[in-house]
Amino acid sequence: MSVSNPSDAETLAPPEPAPGSHGHHHGKLLPLAIGAIGVVFGDIGTSPLYAFRETFASHHGAPGIRVDPVHIEGVLSLVFWSMMIVVTFKYVLTIMKADNKGEGGSLALLAMISRKTEGARWTGPLVLMGVFATALFYGDSMITPAMSVLSATEGLQYVHPAFQSFIVPLAVAILFGLFAIQSRGTDKVGKLFGPIMICYFLTLAALGISHMAEMPSIIIATLDPLNAVRFFMVDGFRAFVAMGSVVLAVTGAEALYADMGHFGRKPIGASWMAFVLPCLMLNYMGQGAMVLSQSSPEAAAALIKDPFFLMIPDFVRIPVIFLALAATIIASQAVISGAFSLTHQAIQLGFMPRMQIKHTSAAAQGQIYIPVINWGLMIMVIVLVLFFRSSSNLAAAYGIAVTGAMFIDTVLIAAVLISLWHWPVWKALPLLAVFIVVDLAYLGANLIKVPQGGWVPLAMGLFIFTLLTTWSRGRLLMRQSMTEGSIPMEVFAKSAHSSASRVPGTAIFMASAASGVPSALLHNIKHNKVLHERVVILTVGIEDVPYVDPGERCSMKELGDGFYRLKLRYGFLEETDVPAALTAASMCGGPFEMMKTSFFLSRQTLIASAKPGMAIWREKLFAWMLRNAASAMEFFRLPSNRVVELGSQVEI
C-alpha cells in the first residue's frame, strides 16, 4: 500500500519501509491524559444524554421494555459490561497495542497489515474491509454532530416549554457556526476542551451520586453480570432489540484508537480507567436509581422519557444544560477534526484524489483544515437534523456505522494477533471469539433499525466506499496504461543528450513511476526541443509509516549527461513540502535554487473506453474525480511562478 502522489494519478511500486519516528506524543502522563479527556472522550462522554432513555423507548413498532427493577438493572449491567468488554478489553488493552509507529485508526492499522503481509491471499479482502470501515467513519462523522447537538438543545425544553419550537433552528445555527470556524484552526479553542470536559464529567458523576444515595444497592446490581443474563431470560427478543440502543453507550470507543497518535496509549488508557469510565457509570447508575426510587409505575415511566435532563436539580438546570451543550460541541469538533485527519491519510495512501489542505497551526502538527470535507460534512449534518428533527429519531440511524466499524476492527486485529504477533490459536481464539460474539450481537441488533433510518449511514458508507475503491483502482489502471511501451530512462538520456539543445538551469520532472520516462519530459523535448543543464526525475513516495526519518528522506541515482533520478519519501501523516526537501538536499550535482529551477508536471485527461478494467460508469466517475482533484502544484507546495504543466490523454 505504499503509494506515490505526483502530478499524474499513478501508483508507485512499494518501496522498502523507511524507519519512522514512533509517534509524536512525548511528555508527562498527566497533561497528556487531561488533553485526551478534552479530545478523545467527547463522543462517548455525551452518550448519557440519550443512551439510557433510548433503551427503554419503543422501537420498530414494538412497545418499549418495562420500567421495573429487572429491566433497569439488566440494562445497567449491559451498559457496564459493554464498556468493559468493548472499550476496556478490546480497545484499550488489545487493539491500542497494535500501533503503526505510534499511530492508530483503521487506515494506519491497514497500512501496517498490508506492509507486513504483502502477497498473502487474504490481504486483498482485508484492505477492502479496512476501506469500508473508513467509509463508515464518514457516515458516523455526519451523524455524531447532529445527534449530539440535537440531544443537548432538547434539554432547553425543560427550562421553558416555549423553547421546544426553537430546538431544531438552534441546533442548525450551532452546527453552522461550528463548521464556519473550522478554517481558523482549533489549536486555541482546543486548550479549553480539557478543562470543560473535566468539569462536564465531574458534573455527570455528581448528578449520578446525588440520586444513588437513595439506592446504593444499584452499584451491586450494575456490576453483577447475572442481571444482564436475567434480562435476556425474561424478555429475549426485546432485550436483543434493546442492545441496539445500549450500544449508544459505547459509541466513540473507536476514537480512542484513532486519536492514539496525538496522546499515546498510556494517557488515553489512564484517563479512561481512572476518570472517564467511573464518571460515566456513576451517571448511568444515578439515572437508574432515580427511576427505580419512584413510588408509582406512572412516575417512573414519566422519568424514563428523558432521565438525564430530569435528574438535574432546578437550581443548576440552566448551567448544566449549557455545559452539556458545550460538551456536545466539543464531541462534534473531535469528529470533524478526525474526518480531516482521516482524509489526509486516505489521500496520502492513494484512496482519495488530492484535495486542498490548509495547515492552521505552525506549531501543532496535524492541525489541518480541508474545505471540501468541511462544507460537505456541514451540508449532510444539517440535512440530517432537518430530516430527523429529534435525537430519538436519529438514534435509529446511529449505531450501524459504529458497530460495523467495530466489527471490522476485530477482523483486522485477528490478522494482527495471528499473522503479525504469531499468537498461538489456543490463545487468540477465546479472546477473538468474545469480541466477535459481542460485535455481531450489537451489529445484528442495529440491523433491525435499517428501515427506521439505519439505511442512512449504510447508504453513505456504500457511496463513499465506491468513491474510494474507484479512485484506487483507477490510479492502478492509469499507471499500467502509462507504463505500457515506456523506454528506459538511461536509453532516453543518451539519445536526448545529442538531439536537443541544453539551456542553463534545473528542470524537475515529477513522475509517479519508479522507472521509465515521464510524459512531461517526452512532450517537452518533442515540442520545445531543449533540455536544461540539469534534469531531475522526481518521484514522491508515501510510506506505510506515519513519519519518515529526515535522514532517509532523499535517495538519488545519477543517470549521466546531467540526468538524475531523485526519490523523496514521506510518511502518510507528513506534509509533502517538496521545495523544503529539495532546499535541504545537497545532491544531484549541487544545491537547488528555487529561482533557477522549473517544475514540469503531467496532467492527464482520461478517456473512458471499453478496455477491460472498470465498468464504464466507474471510469467516468474516476475521470470526474481526476478533473476535480487539487493540482499537484498546491499539493506539493510548488512555487506557482516556476511550474509548467503539459497535458496528455490516457485511455483505461
Domains of the chain by residue range: 40-453, 481-651
Query: Is 90 in contact with 435 (CB distance < 8 Å)?
Result: yes
Confidence check: pLDDT of 217 > 70 = yes
Helices (H) and strands (E) in the chain, counts: 28, 9
The torsion angles phi and psi of 504, rounded to 5 degrees, stand at -65, 155
The answer to whether the beta carbons of residues 350 and 10 sit under 8 Å apart is: no
Question: What is residue 191's predicted lDDT score, i.e. its pLDDT?
Answer: 67
Per-residue pLDDT, 19: 33
- Provide the grid cell at 84: 468493559
The amino acid at residue 189 is: V
- Among the ranges given (119-128, 166-175, 289-298, 528-537), the one the predictor scored with the smallest mean pLDDT: 119-128
Rg over alpha carbons for the chain, rounded to the nearest Å, is 27
Residue type, 563: F
Least confident range of 163-172, 377-386, 477-486, 500-509: 477-486
Q: Taking each helix axis from N to C terminus, what angle separates 123-153 and 371-388, rounded to the nearest 10 degrees?
A: 60
650: pLDDT strictly greater than 90: no
From the list 290, 114, 297, 134, the residue with the least C-alpha distance to 214 is 290
Q: How far apart are CA 589 and CA 586, in angstroms?
A: 8
* Least confident span in 18-22, 118-122, 300-304, 343-347: 18-22
Q: Which helix (H) or strand (E) holds 530?
A: strand 530-542
In angstroms, the CA 407 to CA 129 distance is: 10
User: And the C-alpha cell for 504?
Assistant: 542553463
277 contacts 177 by C-beta, under 8 angstroms: no
> Whole-angstrom Cα distance, residue 502 to residue 524?
13
pLDDT at 62 over 60: no
Distance CA 429, CA 265 (A): 24
How many other β-carbons are positioned within 10 Å of the β-carbon of residue 189?
13
Phi, psi torsion values for 606, nearest 5 degrees: -90, 135
How far from chain centre, in Å, is Cα 155? Answer: 29
| Architecture (CATH level 2) of domain 40-453 | Up-down Bundle (1.20)
State the DSSP code for 62: B
pTM, entire model: 0.83
- DSSP, collapsed to helix, strand or coil, labels residue 155 as helix
If you search the block for the grid coordinates 545532491, which residue do you land on? 587
Tell me how far apart the alpha carbons of residues 58 and 242 are, in angstroms, rounded to a whole number: 9
